[in-house]
Amino acid sequence: MKIVVFGAGAWGTALAMNAARHPAGHAVTLWARNAQQVADMQARRENLRYLPGVPLPENLALAQGDALQCARDADLLIVATPMAALRSFLALLRDCPVPLAWLCKGFEAAAADSGSFGLLAHEICAQVAPDLKAGALSGPSFAQEVALGKPTALVAASAHASVRHTLVQAFHGPSLRVYANDDLVGVEIGGAVKNVLAIAVGLCDGLQLGLNARAALITRGLAEMTRLGLALGARSETFLGLAGVGDLVLTATGDLSRNRRVGLLLAQGQSLPQAVASLGHVAEGVYSAHTAVQRARSLGVEMPIAETVVSLLEGRLHAADAVALLMEREPRAEPERG
């Protein structure tokens, strides 16, 4: 199978490396926008900026320049850009006849003066490339571990059976299990909202509130994620799987999580710009929190943890006050109905 991965950040590079090592002998090309980055990777056989110390497979091809030309004759296209670049890439590739999947997790940022909220990836695709056979590859995964060949399980989500089947064929192998799911909305909501919740859990851990508080926050966060997903047409069982609770637990507790790191740094007294600058990578939860809350409000869905994260990120709450606000909420029945 000929696979092209667009975007040579940590996750795109890691997935391209995994595919290049697949026993089926895939022909894999990793495309980067920056010519100097490609030259450096070619010379060093390493992505020094995003995955230092992890050698690229010798059979992994590198490319830059005309992305559409690079896509020609491919059997599968993977868009590994941040959410901010997804719209332009889908518009560019809108006439490609082969399956395509995106890796980004979050909401598109809405224009500040538009009065609208940002869209999920499949909603962007419906606007700019409605004829694409597309979907998402998601689930609990840190790029560094995938690059090192450590065991990982992902979800191939799409309304198109051909997309799900192609993703499984491309990536399911000795170190990577891929499960098919036709609930694309649920998988995308899980991937977007868990980033927001991970900031809250990082804050909790940074304030040393204990493991009891962490467990409560993760569990109630899962309830928020599920409520929003159901309101948008997702299935509840999706949130009990890899793309829901699995991705949430990993991102909220793993030391490699950028979103969790934002919460930890805020708890230490850093400003949001300081915290984001220190990461060196995108933390999608910072950009998705406001949109998640906007969409929840428009649907009449309560998301108190996400609301608190937004207030914290916008400087309307200090770290300790944010925790106090959550603990002061009125008690309610558990488990919830509907």
Model confidence over 120-155: pLDDT tens digits?
999 999 999 999 999 999 999 999 999 999 999 999
- The neighbour count for residue 269, using CB atoms within 10 Å, is 10
Give the DSSP letter of residue 243. Answer: I
Q: Above pLDDT 90, what percent of the chain?
A: 86
Query: From residue 304, how far is each of 90, 184, 193, 293, 309 by CA, in Å?
Result: 33, 25, 13, 9, 9
More confident residue, 285 or 141: 141
What is the structure's pLDDT at 319? 87
Residue 232, CB-side half-sphere exposure with 13 Å CA sphere: 24
- Of the residues 2, 105, 150, 194, only one is catalytic, namely 194
Q: What is the pLDDT of residues 288-337, one digit of tens each?
A: 899 999 999 999 999 999 999 999 999 999 888 887 777 766 656 676 65
Which residue's entry shows tokens 């992305």?
67
Q: What span, in angstroms and rounded, lies between the C-alpha atoms of 190 and 226?
A: 8
Identify whether 105 is a catalytic site residue.
Answer: no
Summary mean pLDDT of the chain: 93
Mean pLDDT, residues 180-197 taken together: 97
Residue 111: pLDDT over 70: no
- Is it the case that residue 281 has pLDDT exceeding 80? no
Instruction: Please report the pLDDT score of residue 338 as a whole number.
Output: 46
Coil, helix or strand for 152? strand
Instruction: Answer yes or no: pTM beyond 0.85.
Output: yes
Please state, in angstroms and rounded to a whole number, the distance separating the CA atoms of residues 132 and 97: 7
What ranges make up the beta strands (E) of 122-191?
Answer: 134-138, 152-157, 176-181
- In which band, very low, low, confident or very high, does the pLDDT at 250 lie, cut at 50, 70 and 90? very high
Joined together, the tokens standing for residue 327 give 């603990």
CA pair distance 107, 110, nearest whole angstrom? 9
pLDDT tens-digit readout, 51-110? 999 999 999 999 999 999 999 999 999 999 999 999 999 999 999 999 999 999 999 987
Alpha helices by DSSP H, listed for 207-269, are: 211-231, 247-253, 258-267
Q: In what order do the strands lie in the sheet with 100-102?
A: 61-63, 27-31, 2-6, 76-79, 100-102, 134-138, 152-157, 176-181
Report whether pLDDT(204) > 70. Answer: yes
DSSP designation for 7: -
In terms of Cα–Cα distance, which of 187, 202, 190 is closest to 313?
202
- Which pLDDT score, from 0 to 100, does residue 276 have? 87
